[in-house]
Structure 1
Amino acid sequence: MALVITQAPKLDLDGTRWVDIEPGVRIKVGSSANPKFKSHHALILRHQSAIDVRYGVGTDGFDPANAEIASLDSSDDMMVDLVCKHIILDWEGVEEAETPGVIAPYTKERGKLLIAIRPDIYFTALQVATDIAIRSEERIKESVGKLSPSTDGAATGRAKRTRKSAGSENA
């Protein structure tokens, strides 16, 4: 008997993927198709749209010097919060500066600190989350419409008539 080991593509079967950020540090990323992520993202977009309308963004009446605008949460901050809550799910190899050598468990707040230090992680997480969602959708499309294999190994189709036994009442 011979064995062959091949590098199979990552299938993201559970909707997550570990991504190496640098040697010894990686993050666990979830899918952007997560319903909670999509719902929260839509809420942020509606909120930003309402603010744009309220302050006349894109019109002649817009005044960027308006003091109220500066007090509003930026959409960037809301998006970072969203990614740290629903997309980045865990990490490995991250320590707090106050306790070197002790791995810090992932929290949304710590994720936001990491992104403040390394903004590229935000974009990496979004790219991987989108890739997971696309691959999942492709797998669904591939499997829809495929016939299930026959359980007895024979081709599917009309059943063959069986012979009646000699002792049958209806013979």
Structure 2
Amino acid sequence: MKGHELRLSKRITGAFITAAIVCGGVMSAPSAGASVASGSISGADWGNAGVRNDWGDEGPLDYNSHDYSRAVALWQLVLRAEGFYTGAIDCDFGPATTEATRDFQRWYGLTADGSAGPNTLSVADNSLQDLGNQRDIRYVAWEGMGSVDFRRINGVYHFYLNGAWRTASYTSASGC
């Protein structure tokens, strides 16, 4: 397939997954907020789906909810890997992160509301890859645009920023 055909295929796949989630079809995301209550972005290896179902119960991250947190930094890293965000990884869900989130949502056929909620994060986790040890996880953007590595330790996601591994916390922004 040529590049534009592959992009279209990815968009159709993303739209199908989103429709299945919204309509309660063969796929469904776990209830929203389950990981917010735990205080950090988390996931576990669930059989064949592996890491590709880790974020469907996450969020929301937006200018109203968890707008200044390390969970936002994780999302900014994903948006940067996709090429939608070029700003600083600053833990702040400001106007640039909101617009980059809308761009991500448009690209993947989602409602472009600018909020990284369970549906948006569920589409994003389809690009997660376990690097073979259920700890080292890589997000690979469409067409190899970029990637970012995470660690999942005891089910909790961490990212490397400013010389240290940081927990993707919903309540802390220290280290950004």
- What band does the TM-score fall into relative to the shorter chain? under 0.3
Q: TM-score, normalised by structure 1?
A: 0.22
Q: TM-score, normalised by structure 2?
A: 0.22
